[in-house]
Structure 1
């Protein structure tokens, strides 16, 4: 078993896929929605859904994250508190950006994706986004938390994780333009 050493608490569309690639380059194996969507490894989406629907039940987090030393994006974001309880020595990275840049039609949060009225309510989604970021910053000890702006690059990340700064550019994937292109191709 490899316990989670890094838990990324930033919402989707806040650079989580770029962070996944950066963490993998730094030697971590990062769980991300990308991994689940591409059915990489022994993924069990139903177990994550069950954990979300029944927070009172015991969850075998080691099994759900078997083989991963870091986790980012969904479904991880829904489980920050229990994951921090299970892995108290993990470092937490909160990726942030201006909510106006990314929120509507992209963020999945606490059932909002399944509730079209809530999901399309820009004010409600922005409030969820800001409340989440505030909660993370208020509950995670400062020495275990890095608040990282989208596009910030390697320096503070590597310093926070005690890793040397790579001599390659910080990854930049899954941009708004990339998403728009993918939507056009699907149509």
Structure 2
């Protein structure tokens, strides 16, 4: 059991969070990400759903058992709780322009959130769907009408960035531009800079393959392995 968390990602999905997950794993962390629900069959989406519905009762050590870092949704929704729970954790805020974030999110995770999956009631996929449509962006990610309001969504994105800056003490926070590389992050975390290039994963094109996999594998919750960067 690895919790407590040492690194908390406060950036919205589609700000390079999968590349960040890969990078943190290369530095020796075991990092939770939305993809963990597809790769770790012991990861229960109900824990995050119940934490959202009953915030004061959340057992974060149990929810993040086996992980010592966490990025992407659903973690982002709970970043304030986690920053308070784990006072020694460092916080990474990944950012990009509001326009590029909205375009990327609209073409990927928003599409995935709208999928009409015929998952059996009580199945892993059905429970995952309930969690994501409730917790991610407070349900707005799966709200077709709300997400269509580009200016509103960009404001929510920018307000979140400002909220993180105001919430997290400056000495615990590193703001990372999309694709900036290793140097500042490794210095911030006290890690040696790897010889390998900083990873670049989960492009819009790659995510389209994931959506196809979701459509085809609603019962087993299995997804195609995508090893390309």
TM-score w.r.t. length of structure 2:
0.76
Q: CA offset at residue 99 of structure 1? A: 1.5
Count of residue correspondences = 185
Following the alignment from structure 2 to structure 1, what is the Cα–Cα distance between the partners of residues 90 and 168? 9
In 1: Cα distance, 2:159 partner to 2:141 partner: 17
Structure 1: 4+ residue segments shifted above 4 A: 180-187
2:170 & 2:41 partners in 1: Cα distance? 33
Residues 1:46 and 2:46 are matched in the alignment: yes
Partner of 1:76: 75
Instruction: Give the C-alpha shift of residue 8 in structure 1.
Output: 0.4
Which moves more between the two structures, 26-35 or 46-55? 46-55
Deviation at 1:44, TM superposition (A): 1.4
| Residue aligned with 2:57, SS | coil
Aligned to 2:116: none
Of stretches 12-21 and 103-112 in structure 1, the one that deviates more from structure 2 is: 103-112
1:104-143 equivalent positions in 2, closer than 5 A? 104=103, 105=106, 106=109, 108-143=136-171
Shift of residue 183, structure 1, vs aligned partner? 5.3
Shift of 1:40: 0.6
2:92 is matched with which residue? 93
**Residues 1:145 and 2:173 are matched in the alignment:** yes
- Mark the runs of 5 or more structure 1 residues left unpaired by the alignment: none
Q: Hey, what does 1:60 align to over in structure 2?
A: 59
Residue aligning to 2:227: none
Q: How far has the Cα of 1:115 moved from its partner?
A: 2.1
Q: Structure 2: give runs of 5+ residues left out of the alignment.
A: 111-135, 217-229
Deviation of 1:121 after TM superposition, in Å, equals 1.3
Q: Which residue of 2 aligns with 1:34?
A: 35
What do residues 34-78 of structure 1 show as CA deviations (whole Å, max 9, x unaligned)? Answer: 101x141521101201111222x3111000000101000011001
Identify if the C-alpha distance between structure 1 residues 90 and 41 changes in structure 2 by more than 3 Å, giving closer, same or farther.
farther
Distance 2:83 2:41 in 1: 23
Shift of 1:96: 0.1
Normalising by structure 1, what TM-score? 0.92
Q: Secondary structure at the match of 1:93?
A: strand
Question: Any conservation in 1 of the 2:95–2:177 contact (CA below 8 Å)?
Answer: yes
CA contact (8 A) 2:50 2:58 kept: no
SS in 1 for 2:35: helix
